Amino acid sequence: MLEQLDHLLSHFALYLGVAVEVLALALVPLVLLRRKEPSSTFAWILTLVFLPGLGAALFLLHGRDRVRWPARRKRAADEVLTSRLDHARRETRVDPSGAVGELDEAERCIFRVCEGLGPLVEVSHGNRVELYENGGVAQNAINAAIEGAQESAFAEYYLIRDDDTGARFRERMTQAAARGVDVRLLIDAYGCFWLRKRWFLPLRRAKAKVAQFLPLKMALTLPMNLRTHRKIVVVDGRVAFTGGLNVGDEYVRETGGKPAWRDTHVRIEGPAVASLSSVFLRDWHFMTGSEELPERFFPDTGQPGDAVVAVVPSGPDEGREAIHRVFFSAIVGARRRVWITTPYFVPDRALLVALETAARRGVEVKLLLPGHSNHRVTQQAGRSYFTELLESGVQVFEYLPGMIHSKTMLVDDEISLVGSANMDVRSFRLNFEVHTLVHDRSLAQELEAAFLRDCEASRAIELDRWRHRPWLERVGEGAARLVSPIL
């Protein structure tokens, strides 16, 4: 009896192995039909051929083109709402042409790129922008703004934790809703997967409106690549917050013996607030169907500052990879320096060549990355680019105190970029992101000072020493780079 069972199991294992290999090979034509980047296609084929079981599972979960249908839906929803947004904002929209015209040629070209990316990318002047380099300070400012809300409080987040920081944020939103403020919370269904229904009960009892972005229908069909990675808070249509900060203890204080994550956020007053409101309301309409756009959502904010701000949303719906184009334009247009901070660095060939070329023509290019990352494989993939970057003259630093989650770029003396997008394929092509491009000398000076402080707490990667790192590390980095197009 046991011999027969053993015989059956051995044959079952053999047949299963053959079936998996056949399935993996059958998926290769589907990979070729996707018409993606050659590097991505090649990586999928190699994985399917040499690791058929893992490759087939990964492709069925991640690789199938789930982008087209939701992207088409999102695009159609945006088109419906855009004309209504234009009507609602007809009295308060500011013509940006005068301010952009006053910039010098190189700066003007970067903003012209933004203006050419379509109606979803908006440029305005007369804004005031405040930088937060401390997550606790930023979260306190967000909570205080919500606490003072009189008309509306909108929030869109990829991640909210069920912890003390999340509870305090929820309390402010709940209290605002209870006193009659129009409170709307849009969360990503995947990023907030572990938030249980009971977490939302106080909000719903207070008549706050809550929605999920692309809810997960089944665990085996997770559309993991179509997430809203945006972080937006808009209060009364007059003040907005955006950047890299999610809602959780790790962003504001030490947790588990580890220091708080280093992140960067901005507070905006002025006409650009309406642009961020529009991004939120398009996403809200996409998930709820609501077309409610009272003019109170778009009050006359005046022009409280001198900053020119481009709000750049990007996602698979718009098809232009808007943030990627802005990053590329900023790098190739730089004359003196490009200082970049990003937690996840998996550049495509265009950005890699842009960085190397900028350094070779004498621009000071500095790249600040985490020394301790919460995504080890992605970190290894990023490190695989160090040698060619260093050989081109790019200076690379790894931040040592803890995880650095900032997504910033400083270009020359007056251009700053702050937002939610990482420098990787997922942010450029698969997720819904939002970045701000700001022309303001004082903000650039603050970002410069923060970057220099971060570099002081980092280790500089030296080319000679890097070339002599252990052989196994280089093999691991090469393997991670091979699969980086599908990370």
Residue 236 a catalytic site member: yes
Return d(Cα 441, Cα 437) in angstroms, integer. 13
Answer yes or no: 440 catalytic: no
In the set 324, 366, 407, 439, the catalytic residue is 407
Amino acid at 371: G
Q: Which residues pair with 433 in a beta bridge?
A: 314
Q: Could you count the other beta carbons within 10 Å of the beta carbon of residue 408? A: 25
Catalytic member of 412, 424, 440, 454: 412
Catalytic entry in 231, 285, 366, 439 = 231
| Whether residue 412 lies in the annotated active site | yes
Active site residue 405: yes
Q: Which helix (H) or strand (E) holds 417?
A: strand 415-419
- Alpha-carbon torsion 246, 247, 252, 257, what sign? negative
Active site residue 125: no
Is 317 annotated as catalytic?
no
Give Dmax over CA atoms of the chain in angstroms. 88
CB 145 within 8 A of CB 240: no
Nearest 5°: phi and psi at 184?
-135, 130
Angle at CA of residue 90, ends 88 and 93, nearest 5°: 110
36, 125, 229, 265: the catalytic one is 229
Q: Which of 78, 182, 188, 236 is catalytic?
A: 236
Q: Cβ distance 266 to 244 under 8 Å? A: no
Sign (positive/negative) of CA torsion 156, 160, 162, 168? negative
Q: How far is CA 85 from the centre of its chain?
A: 24
Both tokens of 227, joined, read: 């997430």
Closest CA to 274 of 296, 247, 298: 298
Rg of the chain (C-alpha set): 23
Distance CA 58, CA 44 (A): 9
Q: Enumerate the active-site residues.
A: 229, 231, 236, 405, 407, 412
